[in-house]
Structure formats: structure tokens, C-alpha cells
Homo-oligomer: A and B are copies of this chain.
């Protein structure tokens, strides 16, 4: 979740023609450093510590931009504010405990026999799941 993520995000921004401002650099750095699963406000605080000049609005707008580009995703995780997760390499998986709401990330993308694997590897008792696939529908290709 370190430098490679940072440069990946920064490159993606520039390749799409967006400017790599100092504010965006800090935001992306802190987002990557946090490993994701932060709210916009959480991130704004982190960013503000590193770069006091960067306001909360810019964080919101940058997150929105990264979301549009498919680089991150907002998800509901318990209460209130949206949590943003990194979509490194186009996919993301995590386990959400239905009791303590703890979030356990995992990178294994073995789409077959997932649940058995999760159960044995993380000792996580899978009860249900949500699989969201993003892409282009027939009309939009």
C-alpha cells in the first residue's frame, strides 16, 4: 500500500489529463498510506496534518474524481459517512464481521472455492456476500 500505489494513482490522474497539484499529491499519499477504509473527513484530517493549507473541500473533490476514474470506491461500512477503498489493479475484497464490524482485507483473488478458502485461511465464518462487478453494459461498449 505504499509508493507503488501512490505513483499508480498519480500516473492515472495525469494520463487522464488531470493536473497533479500539490494538494492532490498529499491527498493521494495519505490515502495510500492509510491503506484505504477511511472516510472523507478522516482523510481530510490526515491531509491537514501534513499540509495545513489543503482544505476539506479539496479532499472531497479529489475523492470524487478518483471514484469517477474507478481508482477508489465509496462503500457503506456501518454508520454515516462513506468509506473509501482502494481498487488496486481493478479489484478489492474484504471481510466484514457482522458482530464487531471489523474489516479484514485480503488480496487473494481466487474466484473459485472462495468461501472455503477464506474459512480455512482467515478462520472467518462466511455468512453472506456481495459481489459487485463494474464495467460496461452492452449499450455502453
List A residues at the B interface (Cβ < 8 Å): 70, 73-76, 82, 85, 87, 90-100, 102, 104, 111-115, 118, 122-141
Given that A135-B95, A141-B125 are contacting pairs, would A130 and B87 also be in contact in the complex, using a CB cutoff of 8 Å? yes
Which of B111, B130, B141 is within 8 Å of A92, CB to CB? B130
Which of B90, B102, B129, B136 is within 8 Å of A90, CB to CB? B129
Q: Is A132's CB under 8 angstroms from B94's CB?
A: yes
With the chains together, A111 CA to B140 CA distance in Å? 25
Q: Is A97's CB under 8 angstroms from B132's CB?
A: no
A94 cross-chain contacts in B, Cβ below 8 A: 132-133
Q: Is A98's CB under 8 angstroms from B135's CB?
A: yes
With the chains together, A73 CA to B113 CA distance in Å? 24
Q: Is B70's CB under 8 angstroms from A137's CB?
A: no
New A-B pairs, 5, CB < 8 Å, besides A73-B130, A93-B132: A70-B98, A93-B131, A99-B140, A112-B113, A126-B134
A113 cross-chain contacts in B, Cβ below 8 A: 111-112
A132 cross-chain contacts in B, Cβ below 8 A: 75, 93-96, 129-132
Which of the listed residues A87, A97, A131 has the most CB atoms from chain B within 10 Å of its own CB?
Answer: A131
